[in-house]
Amino acid sequence: MNKELIQSIEVTGKIINNWLPLKIQYDHTPGTVVCIAVNGTAKYLKSFGFSDTEKKIEMNVNAQFRIASMSKMFTAVAILQLQEKGKLRLDDMVIEYISWFKGKNMKTDLSNVTIRQLLSHSSGIFRDGAEQQWVDDMFPMKLDKAVSPKTIVFDNGTTMKYSNYGYALLGLIIEKVSGTSYEKYVTEEIITPLKLKNTLPDLPNEIPKELARGYKRWTPDLIIRELEPNIKANSYASATGFISTAKDLALFLSSLHPDAKKSVLGRESRKTMQQVQSIIDNNQMYGLGLSLENISGQQTYGHGGGFAGYVTKAITHKKDNMQVIVLTNTQSRTAGVVSSSILKLIYTLKGMDATRYIKDDPYSGIYRNRWVDWVHILIGDSLIGFSASENSPVDTCTMYTKKKEHTYINGEGAGFGDAGEHIIFKDIQNGKAQNIKSDGGDMRRIDF
């Protein structure tokens, strides 16, 4: 295993420990779980904030979350399994398996839509149709009533049009071909073989004890933070129903790597999932059930998800089979920005010669004055500092170099603020500096 990568993950973990406790509060996110894994094995796993804010129940690393559109990855795996078994082909027409999937307009005909196009969101059909399940929480039991010429938004095969309804249709195809329910198929063929012990295809009748409570998004007029209801996805389970944990998702994502030692898919199918099928922009594409992203030059695959009360993001570094998973229990931007920032941090630190993990040091922590909450982290001989509210520490951090014991100098040669000035760590108690003296304003340590 790459020693530089593991060391970088350790240092990144130290940054996360001192950044996220306040960051999630700035984001109005009740709680989060963060996992960094290599080949599916957690190297960093920690929870922050609360699973239940009213009862002050702290978030647990084993908490389950509604992972929403990450469900699409599982559905894509199921379809490719069925192709490997010779029970369908990706370029088969959907109408061969769903006879009522009919409708046409002046430009196109639904009879031309293929399974591959559903998987890659290039079928041209609507996202959810006229149903209001994302508003009234009533996911339909059946899908046939939604099909009409209005189902068509774009000519199939011409552009990307994200479609939850398309993945709901894929669930029906899985049932048709396998001769069993979607839930039973993915449980027996994916969840059980990969030993994903805390993963479910949809909300069961009895609410799981480890399911983190999902909260409504924060708005400026909010007085009391309200809970979102626990609801079944029903016919949309294959698009958005899944429940899982950070550790289970790390195992699942690692199994999709072409060189994974354990997988429920053949190597060629895993490669096929990661082939670009639809292009969104220069940094974001889509394969078969996988978002393909270029994050600061690092190539990744994975998926995000948003459900009432939850937003999640899970990505895998293509080269290193390293997973970054961020799960949150409200509708906020935390999961997306933090997951990308963590990956960027890991590879920025990995490329720095002076990066070293120091377990206990006097300086690392959060410091406050009237202007800012500021994070300082020792990463070897150097110190970095950034605002606790930042989305991406690596893009905004200040580098400090050691002048003498407890004294560092801002490495910025010119600019506003404290460029070129000294900061002095003072009042060392129990191995921790309690205060910082600086020309820009003294600061005191705050603990979380």
* Number of domains composing the chain: 2
Give, in order, the Cα–Cα distances in Å from 94 to each of 109, 166, 169: 12, 10, 9
On whether both 158 and 278 belong to a single domain, the answer is yes
> Do residues 330 and 30 make contact, with C-beta atoms less than 8 angstroms apart?
yes
Domain annotation covers residue 408 = yes
Same-domain status, 303 and 371: no
71-84 vs 246-255: helix axis angle to the nearest 10? 30
Which residue among 287, 313, 332 closes a domain?
Answer: 332
How many CB atoms neighbour CB 216 within 10 A? Answer: 15
Asked whether 124 and 114 are in contact (CB, 8 A), the reply is no
CATH of the domain at 82: 3.40.710.10
What does DSSP assign to residue 224? S
Which residue among 284, 310, 332 closes a domain? 332
Alpha-carbon distance 70 to 126, whole Å? 19
**Same domain (yes/no): 141, 289:** yes
Nearest residue to 5 (alpha-carbon basis) of 406, 415, 350, 286: 350
On whether residue 340 sits in a domain, the answer given is: no
Is 300 within a domain? yes
Q: Are residues 313 and 186 in the same domain?
A: yes
Strand partners, 373: 368
Q: How many CB atoms lie within 10 A of CB 282?
A: 7
Query: Is 341 inside any structural domain?
Result: no
Q: Does residue 356 belong to any structural domain of this protein?
A: no
- pTM of the model as a whole: 0.95
> Based on the domain organization, do 289 and 370 belong to the same domain?
no
Do 152 and 197 share a domain, yes or no?
A: yes
Listed in sequence order, the DSSP H helices in 198-352 are 237-240, 246-255, 267-273, 334-350
Q: Which two tokens stand for residue 279?
A: 């292009």
Domain assignment present for 155: yes
Domain that holds residue 212: 28-332
- 40, 283, 306, 47: CA torsion to nearest 10: 40
Final residue of a domain: which of 309, 332, 355? 332
Co-location of 301 and 374 in the same domain: no
- E-assigned strand segments in 92-161: none
In tens digits, what is the pLDDT along the chain, a chain of 448 residues? 588 899 999 999 999 999 999 999 999 999 999 999 999 999 999 999 999 998 999 999 999 999 999 999 999 999 999 999 999 999 999 999 999 999 988 888 999 999 999 999 999 999 998 788 899 999 999 999 888 888 999 999 999 999 999 999 999 999 999 999 999 999 999 999 999 999 999 999 999 999 999 999 999 888 888 999 999 999 999 999 999 999 999 999 999 999 999 999 999 999 999 999 988 898 999 999 999 999 989 999 999 999 999 999 999 999 999 999 999 999 999 999 999 999 999 999 887 877 788 888 999 999 999 999 999 999 988 899 999 999 988 888 888 888 999 999 987 766 666 777 889 999 999 999 999 998 878 999 998 7
